[in-house]
Amino acid sequence: MAEKFQNFIAGKWCEADSGERFENRNPANWDEVIGTFPKSGKSDVERAVKSARAAFRKWSLTPAPVRGEIMKRAGDLMVERKEEIAQLMTREMGKVIDETRGDTQEGIDTAFYAFGEGRRLFGHSVPSELPNKTQWSYRRPIGVAGIITPWNFPMAIPTWKIFPAILSGNTVVFKPASDTPATATKFIELLLEAGVPEDVLNIVHGGGSSVGTAIVEHPDIDLISFTGSSQVGRIINSKAGAGLKRVSLEMGGKNAQLVMNDANLELALDGVLWGAFGTTGQRCTATSRLIVQEDVHDEFVEMVIERAKQLKLGDGLDESVDVGPVINEGAREKIHKYVQIGQEEGATLKLGGNIADDGDLAKGWFYQPTIFSDVTPEMRIAKEEIFGPVLSILKVKDLQEGIEVMNNVEYGLSSSVYTQDINAAFEGIRDIDCGITYINGPTIGAECHMPFGGCKSTGNGHREGGWEVYEFYTETKTIYVDHSGRLQRAQIDNR
């Protein structure tokens, strides 16, 4: 019998008010039910927000270094249970076990980084323009944070958001993706075991239209952090903006790897295979486009095809598997539709292009690693996010054309340039319109202590990760102390 999971609201594990539940299944074997979860709604969110609001003052007055010590304990627990978490995550969302171990390690790294930031929530002290006057700024928590996360990194992304939120002194109402609620629940259990007060954290399972919308529109939610599609992000931004909420959006990508004539082709080959087919292409930073300078184009395309043919599909718990399933049937249908669009547009299908359903693969949602050549910049497969194992290859004359093609999309998340020319590398760093650029590395591989995010339709200017995320979860307060014993009227008396 499948395990029955619950919401955690107001310090208690509980059912949804509706009494309804939904199933969570293994995308590599749809017959396997991971568990059932509460199908929550507005009233459940209401109770969670009320609890988080009541807990805010006491938690915000807890010294930040003390909050940081709890983050450290959470990280230690994650180290102890890394394999357990990874196994659950692979069963729940399909990516290969090495990747779910990495996903968990990202959460561990984020915990330990948060531990240090508990002693580094710096403000500024600057000299006054007037005598006998002292001034400084400090950072203070905002209130209740609504956290809405996707399914593709079900441990890493919640840690990116929740660790800095609670380390900064905020309380949390958390809606994980309905495709990966078990990993999210495991994370909350670990935080509670580490010592986060029970009323500081709330997890409410359910759909975006019910739970997500209720979080975004609730007047007592002060800030929203969302990772997901650009379409949904725009809706959230509009609704939350009406309430003057602070909003961080991390959305889509159409990332490209540019390979120049002088590149180390073997290194570039490793990069594009990992970038395009790691996580079955289901990353916002996945390499969806490969842009190759014309002199090495034909040779490199053949190298990519030959290596991609060797990739093994299957259940991600099998250590020999390279590529797992896509997340669900709807995702596979969308991917296959884009493959048909690419063929209709005149691109050349060089590899794959079909649903993989032989033998044990028939039990899950598998799709062949797919490669198109002869792709032009205005084709839909070169401009729209597919979110699957589909790579579009484009040919360019030189660096300038390569950068122009890279920028010819509505997104601006990640990018990559392979070259031995330092001048070309720095020209790419300067001119590629993205939040992240790698030189001689794939478009994926972010580290937790660096800012993560993009521009254009990828985000709204805030960043996950590093020091910048703590600026999102705090407000700056400016302090002036006049110890002159007389009225000083700043610019009036000073000029």
CA 392 to chain centre: 23
Q: How confident is the model at residue 156 (pLDDT cuts 50, 70, 90)?
A: very high
Judge contact between 237 and 270, C-beta under 8 A. no
Predicted local distance difference test score (pLDDT) of residue 22: 98
Catalytic residue among 117, 284, 448, 464: 284
Taking alpha carbons only, the member of 253, 283, 290, 229 closest to residue 411 is 253
Residue 429 near residue 439, CB atoms below 8 Å: yes
Closest by CA position to 355, among listed 322, 388, 379, 383? 388
Looking at the predicted structure, is the pLDDT value of residue 426 above 80? yes
Say how many C-beta atoms besides its own lie within 10 A of residue 264's C-beta.
14
Whole-number average pLDDT of the chain:
97
pLDDT of residue 130: 94
Give the model's confidence band at 492: pLDDT under 50 very low, under 70 low, under 90 confident, else very high: confident
Residue 294 three-state SS: helix
State the pLDDT confidence band at 2, using cuts at 50, 70 and 90: confident
Helix (H), strand (E) at residue 369: none
Cα dihedral across residues 78, 81, 83, 87: positive or negative: negative
Q: Cα–chain-centroid distance for residue 434?
A: 16
Q: Distance between CA atoms of 492 and 495, rounded to whole angstroms?
A: 6
Query: Cα 280–357–346 angle (5° rounding)?
Result: 65
Among candidates 358, 421, 362, 353, which has minimal Cα distance to 386?
Answer: 353
CATH superfamily of this structure's domain 3-251+459-478: Aldehyde Dehydrogenase; Chain A, domain 1 (3.40.605.10)
Residue 9 in this model has a pLDDT that exceeds 90: yes
pLDDT given at position 357 = 95
Question: What is the DSSP code string of 26-68?
Answer: ETTEEEEEEEEEE---HHHHHHHHHHHHHHHHHHHTS-HHHHH
- Judged by DSSP in three states, 220 sits in coil
Burial 381-408 (b: 16+ CB within 10 A, else e): bbbbbbbbbbbbbbbbeebebbbebbbb
CA 51/CA 288 separation, integer angstroms: 43
DSSP string, 388-452: SSEEEEEEESSHHHHHHHHTSSSEESEEEEE-S-HHHHHHHHHHS-SSEEEESS-S----TTS-B
Q: For 10, which DSSP code? A: T
What local confidence, expressed as pLDDT, does residue 490 receive?
85
What's the alpha-carbon Rg for the chain, to the nearest Å? 24
Active-site hit among 250, 434, 448, 464: 250
Taking 80 as the threshold, does the pLDDT of residue 494 lie above it? no
Q: How is residue 58 written in tokens?
A: 């006491």
250 assigned to active site: yes
Helices marked H in 139-286 — which ranges?
156-167, 181-194, 213-217, 230-242, 265-277
- For residue range 60-104, what is the model confidence (pLDDT) as tens digits? 999 999 999 999 999 999 999 999 999 999 999 999 999 999 999
100 HSE (CA, 13 A, CB side): 29
Write down the pLDDT at residue 226.
Answer: 98
Taking residues 472-480, report their average pLDDT. 98
Reported in sequence order, the residue ranges of 252-331 that DSSP labels E, i.e. its strands, are 255-259, 287-293
The model's confidence at residue 493, banded by pLDDT at 50, 70 and 90, is confident
Q: Which whole number is the average pLDDT over 380-396?
A: 98
Distance of CA 152 to the CA centre of its chain: 8
Q: What is the per-residue pLDDT across 98-147, written as a single tens digit (0 to 9) for each?
A: 999 999 999 999 999 999 999 999 999 999 999 999 999 999 999 999 99
Enter the CATH code of domain 255-439.
Answer: 3.40.309.10
Q: Is 14 a catalytic residue?
A: no
**Taking the domains of the chain in order of start, what are their residue ranges?**
3-251+459-478, 255-439
- What does the pLDDT look like over 38-63, one tens digit per residue? 999 999 999 999 999 999 999 999 99
Sheet holding 29-38, edge to edge: 3-4, 29-38, 21-26
| pLDDT band at residue 1 under the 50/70/90 scheme | confident
495: confidence class by pLDDT, cuts 50, 70, 90:
confident
Number of H helices, E strands in the chain: 16, 24
The torsion angles phi and psi of 459, rounded to 5 degrees, stand at -165, 180
Query: Residue 223: is its pLDDT beyond 90?
Result: yes
Q: List the structure tokens of 5.
A: 């999971």
- pLDDT by residue (tens digit) across 434-475? 999 999 999 999 999 999 999 999 999 999 999 999 999 999
Mean pLDDT, range 380-395, rounded to an integer: 98
Q: How does strand 7-9 pair with strand 171-175?
A: unpaired
Report the C-alpha dihedral over residues 250, 252, 256, 257, rounded to 10 degrees.
Answer: 50
For residue range 239-294, what is the model confidence (pLDDT) as tens digits?
A: 999 999 999 999 999 999 999 999 999 999 999 999 999 999 999 999 999 999 99
313-328, pLDDT tens digit by residue?
A: 999 999 999 999 999 9
